Structure 1
Amino acid sequence: MTPRFCALLMLGLLAFAGIMPGYSMAAEPCPTLQATNPEARSAINHHLCFHSARPGEPAHAAQSASELPVDMPWTPANGHDLVFSHTDAVYWIQLTVHNPGANRALWYLKLNYPLLDEITFWQYRHQPGSPDVVTEAAPPLTTGDSLPFATRGIDYRYYLLPVTLDPSERRTITIRVHSSGALNVPLALMTPEEVIAESNHLTLIHGLFYGALLILAAFNLLLFFSSGTRYYFYNAFYISSMAMFLFAMGGFANQYFWPESAQLANLSIPLTLVICSAAMALFGWSFLDVSAGTISESVLRGLVWSAVGFLALTFLLPYSKAILLNTAHALMVIAALSVIATIRWRQGYLPAFWYIAAWMIMVVGALAYALAAFGYLGDYLAREVMMQAAVGGQVILLNYAMVQRWRLLNQKLLDIEHQARTELEFKVHERTAQLRNTMRELEQANRKLASLSLNDALTGLHNRRHMDNLLPELCREARRTGQPLSLALVDADHFKRINDSWGHDFGDQCLRHIATCLKNQIKRPRDVAVRFGGEEFALLLPGTDATGASKLCQDILEAVRDSRITAPDGTAVSLTVSAGIAELGVEEQPDSLFRRADEALYASKAAGRDAITLAQHSSEPASNS
């Protein structure tokens, strides 16, 4: 017997006795999965067994599959998802796979849940002909959120275990799972092509989802900077915080942001959740236009400040308690915002309807996602996609609600502008009417003022100012047309004696009587009677020569002489007047005409009064009549 033969025989005996680096396994509680069968791979839950090891049990303290009791009971999954709510137990999971093919092939055992603290994979190869005897087929893989990301071996947010099977090889995979939160162990056995196809599909979905959220957040931020409206900023804050929360929940943050920090990997989830709660409350507070001093305002203020308190507690409490508290707080925020939005809608605030619709979608997605994350629902991957769809639908409806709010505010502004324009037009018409009335009154006042400035207040005749303005014009007209122009000055005789005898009031009455006589004798429209002094009057007679003026003055003298005025003492007083007439000479100036008429008047006074004197040119003496 050669030494080589002895060594081989010894190894066989040791292996048979279980002393070799391998161990004897109990009978398989679950059927073996045929790795080459796609239908069998899709029904992997029918091939899984698990055991829940409570604290104090040998399996709880076991750190290796070889340390498990041989008689440890395994529970078949029977097609159900391996989901477990929060517990201190250690879960052991076992799967036996077989390659019935003729070629060596590679598969990946995929665990589609990134939020597990500690996971260890063992692979044991069954000895051909001795299925109960196994040897370690690959070094154990220990990873999880409590360890750096690089421990996963493959740079992927989920856990991938490569399983390479030789032809006809059977292999048992044992998994030890322990986590401070809920346990969700969605397993899948996939070919490399299936892993790549699924990864590409999920990459497209996640890329579109997070890209859309990033664009919407940036767009709302730009709207905030351009308009200064706060709810745009809060919406950008909410979208960003929600995206960061889902990024952390999906394992992306651990993969790309802090792969070397296991503490941040666990802290990021409750931290981003409570930040998201605060953003939800702030955005709802601003968007729903909650009035100050109301109960709704007090509730939202309390939720925001409580979010600040939970944010501080997140750094102090363990993950299991922090995630429960922050999740409860987020659900409270969602419930409170739904109630407040309903109240605002019933108050007539129309954008609240779309806000409610957005939150209803969010409630459904959040509840399903929370139940899956806490181990009450299976198929975590589907719940994650459902949550992303719910968030996407919510964000779209929220932005549509903001559009409706903008339209409502714009319509209000248009209504206010229209009302202001109508009121302005009414006030303009009113002011215009008032202005017209004022202008009319002003015109009348101006006319009255002009009349007062050009008329004598006592007699009603024109005054000296009017004569000074009119006489030069009449002189120019007479020279231009060749028509005659006469000026007659009329003065009351012995008027001082009348004032001294009966007073100035009676004197004013006498002046008014003389003015009446003048107006009664003037027949032509262009003839003008003027009182230019105390008892002195003037007649401007365009188109009248000296003879015509003398005839008119004669009628005036007779009218004044023939009338009687009763004095205050009952005396009948007879008045007389004297007149001086001058006809405009060729190239004669108004001053010269007035001077000659005045000289003629004085001549009438000197001739005994109650007379008329015609002024001659400066080279001719004056004649009395």
Structure 2
Amino acid sequence: MTSVLRLIAILSLLLVPPLALPDEGSVPSGCPTLEATDPAARASLMQYVCYYSAPPDAPGHMATDPEQLPEDLEWMPANGRDLVFSHTKSVYWVHLHVRNSGTERAGWYLKVNYPLLDEVTFWQTGDDTTETLVTGDQRPFASRAVDYRYFMLPVTLDGGETRSLTIRIHSNGALNVPLSFETAAEVIARSNHLTLTHGLFYGALLVFAVFNLLLFFSSGTGYYFYNAFYLAALGLFLFAMGGFANQYFWPDNASFANTSIPLSLSLCALAMILFGRSFLEVGNGTISETVLKGQAWFCIGFLALTLILPYNKTILLNTVLAMTVISSLFIIAAVRWKQGYQPATWYLLAWLIMLVGGLIYALAAFGYLTDFLAREALMQSAVGGQVILLNYAMVQRWRLLNQKLLDVEHSARTELEFKVHERTAQLRNTMRELEKANRKLSTMSLNDALTGLHNRRHLNNIFPELCAEARRTSQPLTLALVDADHFKNINDTWGHGFGDTCLQFIAEMLNRHVKRPRDVAIRFGGEEFALLLPGTDAAGALNVCAALLEDLANTPLLSPDGTEVRMTLSAGIASLNPGETQNQLFERADEALYRAKSEGRNRAQLSEAIEVE
């Protein structure tokens, strides 16, 4: 055991970076201004950020607007460090000056790359105007400016314009404020990368869970079911911690969005105990069984307490419980390994990885380590390694049992071999069914569930192909971006249910007017649609959009209270120029859409021609 403990200590020293300690240097005379057009400056954003910590007795704690802050407030420079604080009752104010020294209007996004913040309020101040955005995971997900798991503030600056950005942040638990200032292209690129990474991770967890569940149904072996339970609970916990559950599962239930984190953590700890007890074959009446039974009852009790106690207490209690369970299972596995139980070898290594990864992830989540995104990736790597080792351990256990069965009498061995062949055939059939299901899921993932149109993933897949084809054949390719006018008023007046009906109605109109076999209608945002029209020039696309806008505007829809609702659309149209990239084409269509909106809506605008070098 001494050598094992030493190994844990060595791994911890290798994996754990320096603790997150905010700089306590001298008070700056003012925050430096970030040049938004400079990629290097954006990359070193934290060199331009100042912050102020307002404990409960400080003047800035009760302030709800930057104008209420004292003029002699002592702002602290971030000096390049992420703003990470352990459990605190303070309110934190973050300040940033940004300037667009270019000559053209451009847009960026200020992003807080941490989803578990109770209250987040953004202010943009410039040209004697102030824009405010109030959000946080204590509010419905729709309060965010962008449909994204992190908090994002769109910042649009005219040429030569300077703005002051202020954030007020308060949270009952640990407080992580990893900031970035990115262009739309950078946001999309990073989002695509993370979507792929998280998709592979959660997809693998789901496949392993379903696979173990099918093994349980086919073999009746209990630890397959407990492993599937553990993988599902662990996936739900990480999904909630990453902000995905709040975004996709319960966006309108802010209270449960927080409660789901300690709740799923308790379920995860219970599943660990059930799987460990079954897999390690812990004997009845042993100390190990007594410990695991006691911890299982603690998990059940903590599940009940999670629904009663506040989040900041339950997350701490359940984290301690989970780390205790992991440590206990590690020790019990070491005992079983010493007793000669061979499958415990891989099980022990799996929990060693989980112990180190879970400890680092917990330290980051509670504000003791910086760079939560890196810790999240590290935790996913640890979970991936553990899942592979656990499943390999189950394979080794199966081989051990099979070897023992081969030593029985010939008749019993013959019967066993028959059953093994039968189960192998069942597994092959199961794998074939899984492959069919995966292909079906892949097809479904390219369509929007509400409207039946293709979704943004399909747009990302087909758009580069159509652009390459248009360049190769010299045939026109036109992109039209279509956006519903004043759609928020519809949701606010008649509710999101009628809003969904309106989106479906718009989708029907798009299908009615986009008739050619190769034309593609896509829903890639809330009320945002795109039309890809290969072989159609800008004039032809303008005719299609004009007919679409006229048809929709002249076709009323009855609201739940019987009111006739006439919706309108705005459209921006751009055709691919020689040498132009797909991003440039998209930006020109988006600019045309913006002009259509600014010039009164219910109209289609052609993009202005540009010269591409």
Q: TM-score, normalised by structure 2?
A: 0.62
Please give the secondary structure, in 2, of the residue aligned with 1:190: strand
Alignment match, 2:383: 391
Q: Output the amino acid matched with 2:400.
A: L
Match of 1:192 among 181, 184, 195: 184
Q: CA deviation at 1:157?
A: 0.7
The residue type paired with residue 243 of structure 1 is: G
Query: 1: distance between equivalents of 2:121 and 2:93?
Result: 10
CA–CA separation in structure 2 for the residues paired with 1:98 and 1:41: 11
- Pairwise mapping of residues 348-363 of structure 1 onto structure 2 (< 5 A)? 348-363=340-355
- 1:419 deviates by 11
Match of 1:322 in 2: 314
CA displacement at 1:29 relative to structure 2: 2.5
Secondary structure of 2:114's aligned partner: coil
Give the match for residue 122 of structure 1.
Answer: 123
Select 1:221's aligned residue among 205, 213, 216. Answer: 213
Q: CA deviation at 1:31?
A: 1.6
Find the counterpart in structure 2 of residue 161 from structure 1. Answer: 153
CA distance in 2 between partners of 1:201 and 1:356 (Å): 33
Change (3 A) 1:182 1:343: same
Paired position in structure 1 for 2:581: none
Deviation at 1:44, TM superposition (A): 0.9
Q: Which residue of the other structure, out of 341, 362, 366, is the alignment partner of 1:370?
A: 362
Once the two structures are superposed, the pairs formed by residues 194-209 of structure 1 within 5 Å of their partners are: 194-209=186-201
Match of 1:136 among 102, 115, 129: 129
Question: Within 2, Cα distance between the matches of 1:51 and 1:419?
Answer: 78
Deviations 1:538-567, CA, capped at 9 Å, x for gaps = xxxxxxxxxxxxxxxxxxxxxxxxxxxxxx
1:120 partner SS: strand
Structure 1, 29-38 or 75-84: larger mean CA deviation: 29-38
Q: Calculate percent identity across the aligned residue pairs.
A: 65
Q: RMSD of the alignment, in Å?
A: 1.6
| Other-structure match for 2:43 | 42
The separation in 2 between residues aligned to 1:79 and 1:341, in whole angstroms, is 43
Q: Which amino acid aligns with 2:319?
A: T
Q: Which runs of 5+ in 1 are unaligned?
A: 1-25, 128-134, 423-625
Q: Deviations over 1:520-545 (max 9, x none)?
A: xxxxxxxxxxxxxxxxxxxxxxxxxx
Q: How far apart in 2 are the matches of 1:419 and 1:201? A: 56
Alpha-carbon distance between aligned partners in 2 of 1:403 and 1:359, rounded to the nearest angstrom: 17
1:294-338: per-residue Cα shift (whole Å, max 9, x none)?
Answer: 000111111111100111111111100000000000000000000
Tell me the CA shift for residue 172 of structure 1.
1.1
Deviations 1:407-434 (A, max 9, x none): 0111111123469889xxxxxxxxxxxx
Q: Is residue 96 from structure 1 mapped to residue 89 from structure 2 by the alignment?
A: no
Counterpart selection for 2:398 from 398, 406, 410: 406
Can you list the C-alpha shifts for 1:247-299, whole angstroms capped at 9, x where unaligned? 10011111111111111111000000011000011111111111111000111
SS in 2 for 1:365: helix
CA displacement at 1:30 relative to structure 2:
2.5
Residue identity opposite 1:35 in structure 2: A
Give the Cα separation in 2 of the matches to 1:247 and 1:389.
Answer: 15
Distance 1:28 1:261, change over 3 A: farther
**Paired AA for residue 83 in structure 1:** V
Residue pair 2:36, 2:99 contacting (<8 A) in 1 also: yes
Provide the residue aligned with 2:113 in structure 1. 112
1:276 is matched with which residue?
A: 268
- 2:262 is equivalent to residue 261 of structure 1: no
The SS at the match of 1:285 is helix
What is the CA-CA distance between 1:98 and the residue it aligns to? Answer: 1.3
| CA positional deviation for 1:27 | 8.1
CA contact (8 A) 2:93 2:168 kept: yes
Q: Write the distance in 2 (CA, Å) between the matches of 1:169 and 1:141.
A: 20
Decide whether the 8 Å contact of 2:280 with 2:344 is kept in 1: yes
Measured after TM superposition, the shift of residue 51 of structure 1 is 0.7
**Over alpha carbons, which structure has the higher Rg?**
1
Match of 2:230 among 226, 229, 238: 238
Give unmatched runs, 5+ long, in structure 2.
1-26, 415-613
How far apart, in 2, do the equivalents of 1:417 and 1:327 lie?
50
SS of alignment partner, residue 60 of structure 2: helix
Give the secondary-structure state (helix, strand or coil) at the position aligned to 2:74: coil
**2:351 matched to 1:380?**
no
Residue 284 (structure 2) aligns with: 292
Name the aligned partner's letter for residue 363 of structure 1: L
Q: Quick check: 1:30 aligned with 2:31?
A: yes
Distance 2:31 2:413 in 1: 83
Deviation for aligned residue 1:165: 1.0
The change in CA–CA distance for 1:200 and 1:421 in structure 2 (over 3 A counts) is: closer
Once residues 30 and 366 of structure 1 are traced to their aligned partners in structure 2, the CA distance between those partners, rounded to angstroms, is 37
Q: Matches of residues 49-64 of structure 1 in structure 2 within 5 Å?
A: 49-64=50-65
SS in 1 for 2:256: helix
Could you say what secondary structure the match of 1:141 adopts?
A: strand
* 1:177 shift after superposition: 0.2
Alpha carbons of structure 1 residues 166 and 420: separation in structure 2 relative to 1, 3 Å: closer
Distance in 1 (CA, whole Å) between partners of 2:349 and 2:163 is: 51
Counterpart AA for 2:56: P
SS in 2 for 1:58: coil
